[in-house]
Structures are given as C-alpha cells and as structure tokens.
Amino acid sequence: MPQKRKRHGALALLEFETIAAGVLASDLMVKRAPVAMLRCGTIHPGRFLILVGGSVASTEEAYLAGTQMGDAEQYLSDSVFLGDVHHALHDAVLGIRRDMTGDALAVVETRSSPALLAAVDAAIKSTPVILSEIRLGDDLGGHALALMSGDLTDAETALGICAERAGDQILAKTLLPRLDPDLRRLFDQGTRFGLCPAFEPAGAEYPEEVACSWDA
C-alpha cells in the first residue's frame, strides 16, 4: 500500500540574510511548538530558508518564535505565515508537480521565496489555474519561481493578483497565451536546465549531417 502523505493546515516560510541567524531560528522554532520541519537549509546567495508546517496554532507559534528572536531578528529578510494554505501550494512546495492544462502559461518570479508563496496562494485561491511548479531559491540566485496554467483569462487574472500581492518583491512576470505543445511537454518535467531532456522535432533543420569522432 502506498504511504499517505500528510497535508498540513498551515505553512510558514522564513528567509534570513545570514546562515547563522537561520540556524538559530530553526532551533527556536522547533523548540517552541510541535511543528514539522519540512525544509531548512542554505540557498543562494548565502541565505537560509526555513519551511515549517502543522496546525494553525502551532505553526503560528513557531513563526513568531522565528521572527521575534532579539538581535538576530535584524537578519530576517522576508517571511510569510499561511494559516489556511491552499492544498495545491502545499503540495507544490513539497515537490509534487502537476501537468499543465489549458492554453495559457503564467510565469511569476520574485526576489524572495516568502513573497512568492504569499502571491501564489492568493492567486490560486481566486482563480481556477493549475499550479504546476514552485521553486524556492535553489539554483535561482535566491529568486523564486512559479508556473501556473489554464485558460487565458484565468492565467492573466492570476498574474495580476501575484503582482499586486508581491508588490516590490515582484521581479518578473510573463504570460504565454498559447504555449507550444512541445515546450509544454518539457516544462511538465520541470524547468531545471540540467534535467531538461533533449527534444528534436521532426521539422528541425540541420545544415548538414556531420560524423563526429572524439578519438582525435
């Protein structure tokens, strides 16, 4: 029997400018409240992310412990507490992908990971878009990325909500009204360059066939 994945009612994400402050906050948070430490660790450029989940009360208690810790509080760059997190966002943060649907793709990039979670949570609660992927910090220079798909009107509305919610933390947003089907299949497997499979459509043009030998 497949093991059932637990889904937490609330999430909190804290981002620190220094690793030392982040490690301290991690310790304070798990000591203060019975929460699950879902993710914690370093991201570029020298920052520290902490993701915890649990009941609304316990998650909020841990969140307060991490955001109010005396002198180290000055190193907290951004944070978000989601007391009623959308189930799709919860799953996406934990690495569960969903295939895109509809014709349009909305792409949102923010300067901080907490800002992205707050923006996307608001967007998917207000529109029927599909949240396909969330990436927080790793291999993104500290930025955060979300891909949402659906009908053009819904995707456009979701982008507007994200921009309004993220405010000055929004770095970039783009809307693709008709995503290429082949590109869709690639993005359904993820947006990491190193993991992207090569795809050569039947109509791809080559100047000539070249035989290569690496035994020079």
- Kindly report the pTM of this predicted structure: 0.86
Contact by Cβ (8 Å): 147, 112: no
Tell me the sheet residues that pair with 41.
Answer: 49
* Distance, CA of 13 to CA of 20 (rounded, Å): 17
Q: How many CB atoms lie within 10 A of CB 184?
A: 17
* Distance, CA of 18 to CA of 33 (rounded, Å): 23
Q: Which CATH class is domain 88-187?
A: alpha beta
* Distance, CA of 103 to CA of 105 (rounded, Å): 7
State which fold the 10-82 domain adopts.
Alpha-Beta Plaits (3.30.70)
Task: Going residue by residue through the chain, which has 216 residues, state the pLDDT in tens, using 9 for 90 and above.
Answer: 444 567 888 999 999 999 999 999 999 999 999 999 999 999 989 999 999 999 999 999 999 999 998 887 899 999 999 999 999 999 999 989 899 999 999 999 999 999 999 999 999 999 999 999 999 987 888 999 999 999 999 999 999 999 999 999 999 999 999 988 888 888 888 887 766 666 666 655 655 655 555 554
Residue partners of 196: CB distance under 8 A and separation at least 6: 186, 189, 190
pLDDT tens column, 114-158: 999 999 999 999 999 999 999 998 788 899 999 999 999 999 999
First-last CA distance in the chain: 54
DSSP secondary structure string, 106-172?
EEEEESSHHHHHHHHHHHHHHS--EEEEEEESTTTTT-EEEEEEE-HHHHHHHHHHHHHHHGGGEEE
Domain with CATH 3.30.70.1710 in the chain: 10-82, 88-187
Q: What are phi and psi of 166, to 5 degrees?
A: -80, -25
